[in-house]
Amino acid sequence: MDNFTKPKVLVGKKADLMSRLADEVEMGIRMRAAENRGFVLGLATGSTPIPLYQELVRRHREEGLSFQNVITFNLDEYEGLAPDHPKSYHAYMEKHLFGQVDVRPERTFLPLGNYEDESRAAQYYEAKIREFGGIDLQILGIGRDGHIGFNEPGSGRETRTRRVALAEVTREDAASGFGGIENVPTHAMTMGVATILEARRIILIATGEGKREVVQEAINGMVNSAVPATFLQDHSNTAWYLDAAAAG
């Protein structure tokens, strides 16, 4: 991979990385507002982006940052969990961001977890992303097995929003939040790799020593479906925001 296509890597303290990412989100919101257009933001869940959401809430409350022109699309949702289920990503987003800023509820989208027809649910989500012109900025995390979204190892570059089986390591990592692995759903609905790669800009956040090995593989390893995050090497506007432990 030549220098032109290498992703940008930013290494720093977690608080500084989150502030820098909040700057990018705010810039996008304000630029689109000046154009009288919506800013389409792809969101991630888990513990890593919580400080980002806290900073965005602070800017809304203390500095007047408005989310009125923001449209959001989350990466994934657990199968079988209704939006009001306390462990759903719907509930997570309501707690950490949506319920604390002025984003319009009808413009916040997450994959359905309690779908009746998985194909229709997936097609609907893809259609909604297209309806709003595609994602301007997609925020990602990375799993210990190299997944992005819930695109587990074996997910190809061409995959789109769909139902997936969760890898055992993914369920293990979620077990504490569910009170044991036996309570963690076995499947989920996720954006596909191709869906993610269509975002105009992607920023992946990784922190902690536990992510060091997979981050190095994702940035420097051979592009292949065994580590889906390696597909980000082929995206021309991806940045990696890493703390020192994850950067190695």
Q: Which of 94, 145, 198, 217 is catalytic?
A: 145
Which tens digit of pLDDT belongs to each residue from 31-86? Answer: 999 999 999 999 999 999 999 999 999 999 999 999 999 999 999 999 999 999 99
| pLDDT range class, residue 100, cuts 50, 70, 90 | very high
Residue 35 annotated in active site = no
Per-residue DSSP letters for the chain? Answer: --TTTSPEEEE--HHHHHHHHHHHHHHHHHHHHHTT--EEEEE--SSTTHHHHHHHHHHHHHH----TTEEEEESEEETT--TTSTTSHHHHHHHHTGGGS---GGGEE---SS-S-HHHHHHHHHHHHHHTTS-SEEEE---TTS-BTTB-TT--TT--SEEEEPPHHHHHHHHHHHTSGGGS-SEEEE--HHHHHTSSEEEEEE-SGGGHHHHHHHHHS---TTSGGGGGGG-TTEEEEE-HHHH-
Residue 76 annotated in active site = yes
Q: Which of 76, 136, 173, 243 is catalytic?
A: 76
| The pLDDT of residue 3 | 40
pTM score of the predicted model: 0.95
Q: Which of 60, 90, 147, 235 is catalytic?
A: 147
Residue 147 annotated in active site = yes
What number is the average pLDDT over the span 88-116?
Answer: 97
